[in-house]
Each structure stands twice: as C-alpha cells, then as structure tokens.
Amino acid sequence: MLTLFWLFFMSATFLIRIDVPDARSVAHDTSLEAAGESVLQYGIGLEAEVSGENRLTELLSQSAYDDACILLQEALIAGKEANCWLAKNSATANPYGLVGTPSGNTVTVHHLITYSENVWTVSLTIWNIGGGA
C-alpha cells in the first residue's frame, strides 16, 4: 500500500506543473525610492525665502500646497515623474501640483515635516516615464 501511494505521488508530481514567475528586481524599486528621497532632501535643503526652517516648510506653512509639490516634482531627475500627496495633521492626503497617470510600477516615498504645531505628511508616488527602468 505504501509503495502504491509513493508511485501515485511521484507520478502526480510529474503531471502537476506550477509556473512561478521570477521575482522583480529590487533595483527597479530602489532607483525610484532613491529619486524620491533625494527630491525630499532637496526641498528640505533649500533656504527659506522669508520665514521658516527651509523652503518646503515655508510653502507648507503658507498653505501654498501646489507650489510645494511643483517644487518637488520639478526637482525629479530626468526619466521619472511623480504625483505629490499632502496631508496636514490628521486630514486625508490630497494630490497637489501636477497630477499624472502612472505608467508601470510605482514606489511611494513618505516624509513627515513638522513646523509650528503642525505636521504635514508629504508623499511622492514615483514612476519611470514610459514604464521602463
């Protein structure tokens, strides 16, 4: 009985075929994540024009959300695009700046910015133009 079970099991393994696709390369996601992180650091690194810790914080504290997002979106390296989402304190995130439709895989990078009793969540959903790497 054990031999018959073993023969049946072994013949079934030859008949059943499961195709498992290769895992996506992590380098694709890493390049998008690095682009988002560098853009956020760029916005934080700019000096404020009038008041605030930096240019990004200054725009957010003035409720110039479209300007803040456009500042970040224009700083992206060539070949990448992003949608910018902002949420103040506990509010729902909304898109600002230039809004596009992703073509291909996306990576979202988040950053918290605090200034004068307010907390903003800045999220960039980044993708490669044309969906390629």
| Whether 121 contacts 87, CB under 8 Å | yes
Percent with pLDDT over 90 in the chain: 58
Amino acid at 25: S
pLDDT tens string 104-126: 888 999 999 999 899 999 999 99
Please tell me whether the overall predicted TM-score, pTM, comes out greater than 0.85 for this model.
no
Please tell me the distance from the alpha carbon of residue 35 to that of residue 55, in angstroms, as a whole number: 19
List pLDDT tens digits, range 64-95: 999 999 999 999 999 999 999 999 998 999 99
Strand bridging mode 106-115 / 80-88: unpaired
Give residue 30's pLDDT.
87
